[in-house]
């Protein structure tokens, strides 16, 4: 049955959490009531990436974008848009209070600059229907590989494309495949790493939620190229929607004969098993992940013998990340040359010579538009933050952007014109990582942020090797001391020393990259550290133990009339004052928790 | 073979050798902490970090598990390596400042003080340093996987499943052996329970010296407990035994030795006390046999020689009961001879080691040997209570007023003519000495006799107390009858002298009167075989005739009379000869 209009309701985790499923039900009910169910179809799609304004609905084929929907808006919306033909302006995206709303999705800055390869089907298909994926040229990459190309030709194509591992390391995928292909052995595995553990990053989850078949197709092509017949997807159990859609997709692929024996009538056979991870951060590390699949504790081992030679169950194993696999079908279908046109550098001779294609970033922090963006390699940080992200919230000044998840580094404002690719980010001490991007403004203290990241890594360290277990914990302790005013200048030297050692001597990449936030913040924001240890002051006023809270008597008396809220909020009974008169803080009693500062409705409490 | 350059020294080693091994060959020391020869390198202490140089790129790797390749250049002592090792050591030192291995390594790397203040500091000398050796040996070598790491990051620690003793633990002690700090200790569970009836006298580990007083004092492998023999795992002992003395394929074998004379010293066994339920052995706690008590007294025993009740407390009173099964119409009528004296010894030791009251329940005090009577007198002076009377029953007194439960010994004191009940905490029973269980079998093999008490019978109780009725078979020790060590030694010496006297002559003079089978007449009916009181007749399977061993034959003539075919005749006493003799006598 042909419909005139399609309502693409976002069913990514973010929107589902904001009741998008209820919106879908209401839509169906309301459309039915008005006898429109033959004309308008409601489709649930994967994540659109613009999670900050969810729940989202796009009206196709017009491409009209509605945001921040509530179930109560739906009857009005249906009446206005689908009966009277008047798109509802108040539910559209409004970039700025002074500017008119933007009706079309493609006109919104957040989407305008994005180039979609891994996420090309997001918002366009129902991820739970294999037919919709096939309609969007799905599985034609696999068909091409199996019927037109020899395995070696597939590898050559991937090598030529310059595709590099999207999981963080940036290892050229083609070289990995080629090495694996050369290793003898009948039993060989391909693994998809969907154990995305970086806080605030959800690229892989979104890809699986919005287009699970692209990952399956990528793995099929890889398995064909490397002669494997067994695949694993290691996915976090905390991703229930992604897991459900992935399992459904695998089931559908099996039904269609795309997994199993004699795929496309050839001798090639392949099947995928799904292993659910329990959420340990370190299990995103390839050897720890394999240990976990084997049923052992998820701890990494030395990789002096590469996993492509001796990996899962001691067999040759190729592990790639979700995003890497999702790129593969497109490269095979459209050719390596199409892929190399996007991105930086030259990879014709040296696979490490540049970064090609696109990268999905999870843009969070103090930007206006938070969400998932897929951008071509080489785009500048400034473009991502200001053009796509819409700049800094509340018109504040940007201080730094932290890329690469908890193990990435801080990039100062002066370097925002840096083109984003694997090598450039590494050069400045940060990394691509899996694609986290946290924007900080002048209210954020880098020491505090570094402490936050170190706290995460030291808690998630598996504890196997000494440098990571003991080193990151001591680094965290030192940072903690600095943020409460007990730090000294010697501590900074010690921190630098320790960071270097942990990077050099840790067993796996978790320890090897955990000190990055400290190293880069010490490099680019040393003054801020010095303010903490010398003057015992936090310039961003974020480290509360270094603040002195005082009450502006005039504001307190005139605006607040001594409202007494602060007195009640103070756990130390340090605030005193008569009603209707200005209050005071007893600095000897004050433990600097900042509760009064948060409580005061008149901004009468100042920090010195 | 590949050549690697370690600190400028060129070493030729097999490919895939680790840098650590290669450096050892080159005589270069690399510090290690978690490395153990027994295990696959784990690579977690990172102290063995070295710098590997390939072209212009240098990289820090761990020597213990990095496989060498042709042309590899390694720096084990560069400034960078030293800096890393020192910092690692500082971190470890700040957390475990008193562990000897950590302290020593810190000193070796020139660290006297750590700049770090560890919040997780463990000041114990035997703290766990998380090297993982115990976990790895349990999983990879023992294949029991009992130990594991729990927690991540700084919370990591070694645990047993659910922090309880696991049934999967085979008590092999491998974990304690590989622990570099002594954090894992082997604890005697018996000591904890204090229950003598649950004690095992056998070896606990697969390889052990059966007892500390064993002769010869060499270790043996217990096949049932050996991981190698049961699972084909392990095999560590053979890699460590330098002389290569360990063989897993050795089998028990039977050896046949031809000898002229045999001395039987098959010894005795003690009576099973469970036959006499009135004494509660095996049923009541703290009722021990004399052997159990001897085990407890032993300084290498389960309690290290401390006399204690099952709950670990010191006994307040101890009863020693003589003649359990000896001098008893229902069990053994004979006197076991040794009990009186060892019972007195026990009394003396209990008095010596504890303040407990000691009660001896005896029928008659038989202190007959040299110095024995004096010892008895001395014990009377020590204040041991002697009660003449047979114990009727031992019962458990119920717990009253929260007091410790105790045992009641009921007996008739024949000296004062009264029935008595004596409360004690511990009872030691002196079981009867019995012939060993296989005495019957031995008797048959050697064709010797048993006296009514089932001990082996000597040829003459006064004139020939070490020989038997069978020529060349001698007996000594408790196989002949209950006796103490001096008597056993004396008898064994006598028997040895008897045997030597025959050996020194070189040949044996035997009586000429023997029976003889004429093989042509023997029908192989085997009637004679079982008749011979000396078991001298055997059946020759190949010839299908009976044959007489002349050495064993005493010429009694039983077989001669029994043979239906008249195939057996006395040598020199054949019918023809006898008749001829008669004829000669009768001829005038």
Please give the pLDDT value at position B227.
77
Label residue A14 by pLDDT band (50, 70, 90). Answer: confident
Residue B401 in this model has a pLDDT that exceeds 70: no
User: Of all residues in chain A, what percent carry a pLDDT higher than 90?
Assistant: 51
Domain boundary among A385, A410, A441: A441
Q: Does A573 lie in the same domain as A437? A: no
Which helix (H) or strand (E) is A483 found in, with range?
helix A472-483
Domain CATH for A377:
3.10.20.600
Residue B195 in this model has a pLDDT that exceeds 80: no
Average pLDDT, stretch B236-264?
Answer: 87
Question: How high is the mean pLDDT of chain A?
Answer: 90
Label residue B303 by pLDDT band (50, 70, 90). Answer: confident
Please give the pLDDT value at position B204.
56
Contact assignment for B46 to A505 by CB distance below 8 Å: yes
A287 interfaces chain B, CB cutoff of 8 Å: no
With a CB cutoff of 8 Å and minimum separation 6, the contacts of A298 are A277, A278, A280, A282, A283, A288, A289, A291, A292, A462
User: Domain for residue A118, yes or no?
Assistant: no
Q: Does A164 lie in the same domain as A63? A: no
Label residue A199 by pLDDT band (50, 70, 90). Answer: confident
The residue among B20, B96, B116 with the most chain A CBs within 10 A of its CB, best to mutate, is B116
Domain CATH for A251:
3.40.50.11540
Rounded Cα gap, residues A508 and A301, in angstroms: 7
A294 interfaces chain B, CB cutoff of 8 Å: no
User: Domain for residue A124, yes or no?
Assistant: no
Q: Which residues of A touch B156 (CB under 8 A)?
A: 462-464, 469
Q: How many domains does chain A have?
A: 5
Q: Residue B460: helix, strand or coil by DSSP?
A: strand
Nearest to B156 among A304, A305, A463 (CB): A463
Q: Does A328 lie in the same domain as A471? A: no
Q: A518, A475 in Cβ contact below 8 A?
A: yes
User: Domain for residue A121, yes or no?
Assistant: no
Domain boundary among A441, A464, A479: A441
Average pLDDT, stretch A118-133?
Answer: 90
Please give the pLDDT value at position A394.
86
User: Domain for residue A519, yes or no?
Assistant: yes
Residues 505 through 564 of chain A touching chain B, CB cutoff 8 Å: 505-507
- What is the DSSP pairing of strand A57-60 with strand A64-66? antiparallel
User: Of all residues in chain B, what percent carry a pLDDT higher than 70?
Assistant: 95
Average pLDDT, stretch B403-416?
Answer: 89
Domain boundary among A379, A409, A441: A441
Average pLDDT, stretch B173-188?
Answer: 84
A463 interfaces chain B, CB cutoff of 8 Å: yes
Nearest to A505 among B88, B116, B118 (CB): B88
Q: Which chain A residue lies closest to B145 (C-alpha atoms)?
A: A296
Q: Residue B187: helix, strand or coil by DSSP?
A: coil
- Is the pLDDT higher at A174 or at A562? A174
Question: CA angle at residue A362 from A357 to A365, to 5 degrees?
Answer: 140
Label residue B572 by pLDDT band (50, 70, 90). Answer: confident
Q: Does A261 lie in the same domain as A399? A: no
Q: Does A363 lie in the same domain as A347? A: no
User: Domain for residue A542, yes or no?
Assistant: no
Q: Which chain A residue lies closest to B62 (C-alpha atoms)?
A: A505
Please give the pLDDT value at position B200.
46
Q: A198, A408 in Cβ contact below 8 A?
A: no
Nearest to B152 among A461, A470, A501 (CB): A461
List Cα–Cα distances, B580 to A131, A502, B515, B574, in angstroms. Answer: 125, 115, 19, 10
Average pLDDT, stretch B567-584?
Answer: 87
Please give the pLDDT value at position A304.
86
Lowest mean pLDDT among B44-58, B307-321, B398-412: B398-412
User: Domain for residue A348, yes or no?
Assistant: yes
B205 burial level (CB within 10 Å; 0-12, 13-18, 19+)? middle
End-to-end CA distance of chain A: 68
Q: Does A347 lie in the same domain as A269? A: yes
B331 burial level (CB within 10 Å; 0-12, 13-18, 19+)? middle
Domain CATH for A571:
3.30.70.20
User: Domain for residue A500, yes or no?
Assistant: yes
The residue among A197, A454, A505, A515 with the most chain B CBs within 10 A of its CB, best to mutate, is A505
Q: Does A465 lie in the same domain as A347? A: no
Label residue B231 by pLDDT band (50, 70, 90). Answer: low
Task: Give the ipTM.
Answer: 0.87
Task: Write down how long chain B is.
Answer: 588
Residue B12 in this model has a pLDDT that exceeds 50: yes
Average pLDDT, stretch B390-412?
Answer: 84
Q: Which residues of B touch A461 (CB under 8 A)?
A: 152-154
Buried/exposed A420-450: b ≥16 CB within 10 Å, e otherwise? bbbbbbeebbbbbbbbbbbbbbbebbbbbbb
Rounded Cα gap, residues B363 and B390, in angstroms: 6
Please give the pLDDT value at position A1.
54
Q: Does A160 lie in the same domain as A29? A: no
Rounded Cα gap, residues A145 and A225, in angstroms: 9
Residue B513 in this model has a pLDDT that exceeds 70: yes
Q: Does A450 lie in the same domain as A432? A: no
Rounded Cα gap, residues A58 and B160, in angstroms: 56
B155 interfaces chain A, CB cutoff of 8 Å: yes
Please give the pLDDT value at position B399.
64
Please give the pLDDT value at position B196.
40
Please give the pLDDT value at position A607.
87
Please give the pLDDT value at position A214.
94
pTM of the full structure: 0.72
Residue B528 in this model has a pLDDT that exceeds 80: yes
Label residue B511 by pLDDT band (50, 70, 90). Answer: confident
Contact assignment for A463 to B120 by CB distance below 8 Å: no
Please give the pLDDT value at position B569.
87
Please give the pLDDT value at position B203.
38
Contact assignment for A477 to B60 by CB distance below 8 Å: no
Closest CA to A120 of A333, A408, A264, A396: A333
Q: A274, A231 in Cβ contact below 8 A?
A: no
Residue B233 in this model has a pLDDT that exceeds 80: no
Please give the pLDDT value at position A359.
92
Q: Does A272 lie in the same domain as A215? A: yes
Q: Does A277 lie in the same domain as A187? A: yes
Q: Which chain B residue lies closest to A460 (C-alpha atoms)?
A: B153
Please give the pLDDT value at position B205.
65
- Is the pLDDT higher at B188 or at A187? A187
Q: Whole domain around residue A98: which residue ranges? A: 5-110
Rounded Cα gap, residues A61 and B401, in angstroms: 92
pLDDT, tens digit (0-9, with 9 covering 90-100), for A413-440: 999 998 998 888 888 888 888 888 999 9
User: Domain for residue A541, yes or no?
Assistant: no
In angstroms and rounded to an integer, the radius of gyration of the C-alpha atoms of chain A is 27
Question: How high is the mean pLDDT of chain B?
Answer: 87
Q: Does A331 lie in the same domain as A430? A: no
pLDDT, tens digit (0-9, with 9 covering 90-100), for B435-473: 999 999 999 888 888 999 999 999 899 999 999 988 889
Domain CATH for A500:
1.20.1440.230
């Amino acid at each position: 049955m042909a419909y005139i209009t399609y309502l693409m309701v976002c069913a990514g985790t973010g929107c589902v959490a904001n009741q998008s499923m209820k919106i879908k039900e209401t839509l169906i009910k309301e459309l039915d009531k008005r006898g429109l169910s033959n004309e308008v179809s409601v489709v649930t799609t994967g994540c659109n990436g613009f999670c900050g304004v969810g729940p989202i609905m796009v009206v196709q084929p017009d491409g009209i974008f509605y945001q921040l929907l509530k179930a109560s808006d739906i009857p009005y919306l249906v009446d206005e848009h689908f009966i009277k033909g008047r798109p509802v302006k108040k539910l559209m995206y409004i970039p700025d209070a002074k500017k008119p709303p933007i009706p079309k999705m493609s006109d919104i800055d957040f989407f305008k600059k994005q180039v979609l390869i891994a996420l090309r089907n997001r918002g366009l298909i129902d991820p739970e229907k294999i037919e919709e994926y096939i309609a969007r040229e799905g599985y034609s990459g696999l068909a091409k590989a199996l019927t037109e190309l020899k395995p070696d030709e597939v590898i050559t194509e991937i090598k030529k494309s310059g595709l590099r591992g999207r999981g963080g390391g940036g290892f050229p995928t083609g070289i990995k495949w080629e090495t694996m292909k050369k290793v003898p052995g009948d039993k060989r595995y391909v693994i998809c790493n969907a154990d995305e553990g970086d806080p605030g990053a959800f690229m892989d989850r979104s890809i699986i939620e919005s287009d699970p078949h692209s990952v399956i197709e990528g793995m099929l092509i890889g398995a064909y190229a490397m002669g494997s017949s067994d695949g694993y997807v290691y996915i976090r159990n905390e991703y229930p929607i992604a897991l459900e859609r992935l399992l459904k997709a695998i089931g559908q692929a099996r039904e269609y004969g795309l997994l199993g024996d004699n795929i496309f009538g050839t001798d090639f056979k392949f099947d995928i098993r799904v292993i659910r991870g329990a959420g340990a951060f370190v299990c995103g590390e390839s050897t720890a992940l394999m240990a976990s699949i084997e049923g052992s504790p998820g701890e990494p081992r030395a990789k002096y013998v590469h996993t492509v030679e001796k990996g899962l169950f001691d067999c040759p194993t190729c592990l790639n990340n979700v995003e890497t696999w999702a790129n593969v079908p497109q490269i095979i279908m459209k050719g390596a040359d199409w892929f190399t046109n996007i991105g930086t550098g030259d990879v014709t001779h040296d696979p490490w010579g540049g970064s090609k294609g696109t990268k999905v970033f999870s843009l969070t922090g103090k930007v206006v538009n938070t969400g998932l963006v897929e951008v071509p390699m080489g785009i500048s940080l400034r473009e991502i933050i200001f053009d796509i992200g819409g700049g800094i919230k509340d018109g504040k000044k940007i201080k730094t952007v932290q890329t690469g998840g908890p193990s990435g580094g801080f990039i100062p404002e002066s370097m925002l014109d840096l083109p984003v690719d694997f090598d450039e980010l590494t050069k400045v001490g940060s990394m691509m990582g899996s694609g986290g991007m946290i924007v900080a403004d002048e209210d954020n203290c880098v020491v505090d942020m570094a402490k936050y990241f170190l706290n995460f890594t030291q808690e998630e360290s598996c504890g196997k090797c000494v440098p990571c277990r003991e080193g990151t914990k001591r680094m965290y302790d030192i940072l903690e001391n600095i943020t409460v005013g007990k730090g000294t200048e010697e501590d900074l030297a010690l921190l630098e020393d320790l960071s270097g050692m942990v990077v050099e001597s840790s067993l796996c990449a978790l320890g090897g990259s955990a000190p990055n936030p400290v190293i880069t913040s010490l490099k680019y924001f040393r003054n801020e550290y010095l303010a903490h240890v010398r003057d015992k002051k936090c310039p961003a006023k974020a480290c509360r133990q270094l603040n002195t809270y005082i009450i502006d008597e005039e504001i307190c008396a005139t605006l607040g009339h001594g409202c007494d809220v602060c007195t009640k909020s103070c756990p130390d009974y340090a605030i005193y004052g008569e009603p209707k008169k200005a209050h005071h803080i007893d600095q000897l009693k004050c433990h600097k928790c900042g509760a009064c500062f948060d409580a005061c409705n008149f901004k009468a409490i100042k920090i010195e | 073979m590949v050549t690697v350059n370690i600190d400028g020294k060129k070493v030729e080693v097999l490919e895939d050798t680790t840098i650590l091994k290669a450096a050892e060959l080159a005589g270069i020391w690399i510090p290690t902490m978690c490395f153990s020869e027994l295990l696959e390198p784990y690579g977690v202490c990172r102290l063995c970090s070295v710098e590997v140089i390939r072209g212009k790129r240098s990289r820090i790797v761990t020597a213990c598990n990095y496989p060498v390749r042709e042309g590899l250049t390694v720096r084990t002592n560069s400034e960078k390596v030293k800096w890393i090792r020192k910092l690692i050591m500082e971190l470890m030192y700040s957390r475990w400042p008193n562990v000897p291995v950590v302290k020593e390594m810190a000193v070796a790397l020139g660290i006297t003080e750590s700049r770090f203040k560890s919040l997780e500091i463990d000041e114990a000398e035997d703290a766990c340093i998380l090297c993982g050796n115990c976990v790895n040996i349990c999983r990879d070598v023992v294949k029991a996987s009992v130990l594991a790491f729990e927690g991540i990051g700084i919370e990591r620690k070694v645990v047993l499943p659910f922090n309880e003793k696991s049934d999967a633990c085979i008590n092999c002690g491998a974990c304690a052996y590989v622990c570099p700090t002594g954090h894992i200790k082997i604890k005697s569970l018996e000591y904890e329970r204090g229950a003598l009836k649950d004690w095992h006298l056998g070896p606990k580990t697969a390889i052990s010296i059966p007892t500390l007083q064993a002769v010869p004092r060499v270790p043996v492998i217990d096949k049932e407990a050996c991981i190698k023999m049961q699972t084909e795992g392990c095999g560590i002992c053979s890699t460590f035994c330098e002389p290569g003395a360990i063989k897993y394929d050795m089998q028990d074998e039977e050896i046949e030795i031809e000898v002229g004379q045999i001395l039987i010293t098959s010894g005795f066994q003690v009576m099973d006390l469970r036959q006499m339920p009135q004494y509660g052995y095996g049923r009541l706690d703290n009722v021990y046999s004399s052997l159990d008590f001897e085990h407890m007294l032993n300084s290498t025993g389960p309690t290290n020689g401390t006399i204690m009740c099952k709950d670990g407390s010191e006994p307040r009173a101890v009863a020693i009961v003589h003649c359990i099964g000896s001098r008893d119409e229902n069990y053994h009528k004979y006197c076991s001879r040794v009990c009186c004296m060892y019972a007195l010894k026990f009394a003396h030791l209990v008095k010596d080691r504890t303040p407990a009251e000691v009660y001896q329940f005896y029928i008659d005090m038989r202190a007959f040997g040299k110095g024995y009577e004096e010892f008895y007198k001395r014990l009377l002076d020590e204040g041991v209570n002697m009660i003449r009377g047979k114990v009727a029953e031992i019962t458990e007194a119920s717990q009253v007023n929260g007091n410790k439960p105790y045992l009641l010994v009921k007996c008739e004191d024949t000296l004062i003519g009264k029935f008595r009940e004596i409360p004690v905490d511990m009872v030691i029973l002196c079981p009867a000495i019995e012939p060993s269980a296989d005495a019957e079998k031995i008797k048959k093999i050697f064709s010797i006799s048993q006296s009514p008490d089932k001990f082996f019978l000597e040829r003459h109780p006064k004139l020939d107390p070490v020989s038997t009725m069978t020529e060349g078979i001698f007996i000594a020790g408790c196989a002949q009858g209950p006796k103490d060590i001096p008597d056993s030694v004396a008898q064994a010496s006598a028997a040895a002298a008897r045997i030597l006297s025959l050996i020194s002559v070189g040949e044996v003079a035997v009586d000429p009167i023997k029976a003889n089978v004429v093989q042509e007449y023997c029908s192989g009916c085997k009637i004679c075989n079982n008749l011979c009181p000396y078991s001298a007749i055997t059946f020759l399977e190949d010839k299908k005739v009976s044959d007489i061993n002349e050495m064993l034959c005493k010429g009694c003539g039983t077989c001669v009379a029994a043979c239906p075919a008249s195939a057996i005749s006395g040598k020199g006493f054949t019918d023809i000869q006898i008749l001829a003799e008669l004829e000669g006598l009768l001829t005038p």
